[in-house]
Amino acid sequence: MTKVILIGRPNVGKSSLFNRLVGRRIAITSDIAGTTRDTNKEICEIYDKECVLIDSGGLDDSSEIFKKVRDKTLSEAKEADIVLFMVDGKFMPQDEDREIFYSLLGLQKPTALVINKIDSKKDQTRAYEFIEFGASNVFEISVSHNTGIDEIKDFIYPYIKESLKADTEESLDDFLANFDENGEILDDEINQNEPIKVGIIGRVNVGKSSLLNALVKDERSVVSSVEGTTIDPVNESFVYENRVFEFVDTAGIRRRSKIEGIEKFALNRTQKVLENTDVSLLVLDSSQPLSELDEKVAGIASKFEPAMIIILNKWENKGEKEFDEISRQIRDKFKFLSYAPIISVSALDGKRVHKIYPLILKVYENFTKKIKTSQLNEVINEATITHPLPHEKGKLVKIYYSVQFDTKPPKIALIMNRPKSLHFSYKRYLINKIRSSFELEGTPIVIVARDKKKQKDGDEKEE
């Protein structure tokens, strides 16, 4: 697919233009120079065609992080098909801008000079000074006022090779092929075409960006020892055994008292990512003791009920005894994640990273599993016989039957006479029984109790 990259020094409005062209707020924008550090990629529709729009980090050499951002941006520019070089129209032309623009022209690909923040006649007069760049394609725009955006689209359009796929009406035979002879939907066939969304989460500086790079086998995310390097979520797709994994590296989470400036936006964006995550990779730094913050991060992730894998990163010089000891500590501290498998890796060296792929497939299969009603009731009945439900003030508490009503994660309804009397400890007992009976490692299980009296036409109010 045709790639269009936005390039420029920090704070010229690249992320704002990126959001405007894509049509929704994806990249974090702020007045703080260097807000974007990794490249954001998103499918963008330009009229009736699709392209990949890339929002790059600002070109700056003022620090270790920004030098890495600059190198990453220039590397991305070489791979792109169309280059939009942005400058700030509120200032006179800078020598650095001129040098960068000339170097981009050397790439021999369609390149445009985009002068942003042209909000007044005074700005237009200043923009004339950029004629000295000798650019063949110059656009004066104001992203904040939404002016000049269509002209940029007109420039990009002829170079995009792909057209949007036309919608085709599904035939009746094709539609019926999605169901078995009993009218049950064939979940497995549908799921095979569905990307698995994998969110990488953890506190700052545990190696999330290094893990993303190791997983997608590319320097996709900027890696630095400076805490808080990743601000925007960084997404990249990877194909393993004909399944598409959509990895997202989220911003590192620090103590609330230390969250400043744009990191507040980053935390909100991380939570938005988790809302749409199928599998979360909780990354822990095995070279440091488990902290309270690790537990809080795990709690944030589990709140959204994804499948979960715990990654012990920076496992360069440790053995089996250390793994058993740290695993025991994790089970003690993270009791609410008792279902999550634990794996040790070294993202920096790439050791054992390959074992994460099949583990993602396994926990995702469990995350989307549909349990047959007859088998589920058999397990629940056996569990209640082994450990009968406690009475409520001398009154019998009974489960009439159970049924799975949703997946991602598996959600099970218990139809009861006194649903409010189902104690959380007994619910936990049933969850453990279901998990062991159906081998549901890696996925949470949700149980809700429903009152038989409130059922109407197969639907009832959830208690």
Flag whether 204 is marked binding.
yes
Flag whether 268 is marked binding.
no
112 with 137: CB under 8 angstroms? yes
Flag whether 213 is marked binding.
no
Flag whether 207 is marked binding.
yes
Flag whether 297 is marked binding.
no
Give the count of alpha carbons within 13 A of 156, CB side only.
Answer: 30
What's the N-to-C CA distance of the chain in angstroms?
49
Flag whether 62 is marked binding.
no
d(CA 176, CA 188): 15
d(CA 419, CA 280): 32
Rg over CA atoms, the chain: 27
d(CA 463, CA 449): 6
At residue 40, what is the residue type?
N
Flag whether 12 is marked binding.
yes
Flag whether 442 is marked binding.
no
Flag whether 10 is marked binding.
yes
Flag whether 153 is marked binding.
no
Flag whether 222 is marked binding.
no
Flag whether 89 is marked binding.
no
Flag whether 83 is marked binding.
no
Q: What tokens appear for 296 in the block?
A: 């809080």
Flag whether 57 is marked binding.
yes
Flag whether 253 is marked binding.
yes
Instruction: Provide the sign of the torsion angle of the four alpha carbons 286, 270, 50, 81, taken in this order.
Output: negative
* Helix, strand, coil content of the chain in percent (nearest 5): 40, 25, 40
Flag whether 210 is marked binding.
no
116 with 12: CB under 8 angstroms? yes
Flag whether 15 is marked binding.
yes
DSSP string, 294-305: HHHHHHHHHTT-
The full 3-state SS of 162-178, as one line of letters, equals: CECCCCCCCCHHHHHCC
Instruction: Give the single-character DSSP code of 320.
Output: H
Flag whether 208 is marked binding.
yes
Flag whether 291 is marked binding.
no
Flag whether 103 is marked binding.
no
Flag whether 116 is marked binding.
yes
Give the count of alpha carbons within 13 A of 237, CB side only.
Answer: 11
Closest CA to 58 of 90, 11, 97: 11
Flag whether 7 is marked binding.
no
d(CA 342, CA 365): 17
Flag whether 13 is marked binding.
yes
Peptide bond into 341 cis (omega under 30): no
Flag whether 182 is marked binding.
no
Cα dist from 454 to 175, 421, 422, 424, 449, whole Å: 34, 16, 17, 22, 12
Flag whether 16 is marked binding.
no
Flag whether 11 is marked binding.
yes
Flag whether 88 is marked binding.
no
Flag whether 209 is marked binding.
yes
**Binding-site entries:** 8-15, 55-59, 116-119, 202-209, 249-253
Residue ranges of the annotated binding site for GTP are: 8-15, 55-59, 116-119, 202-209, 249-253
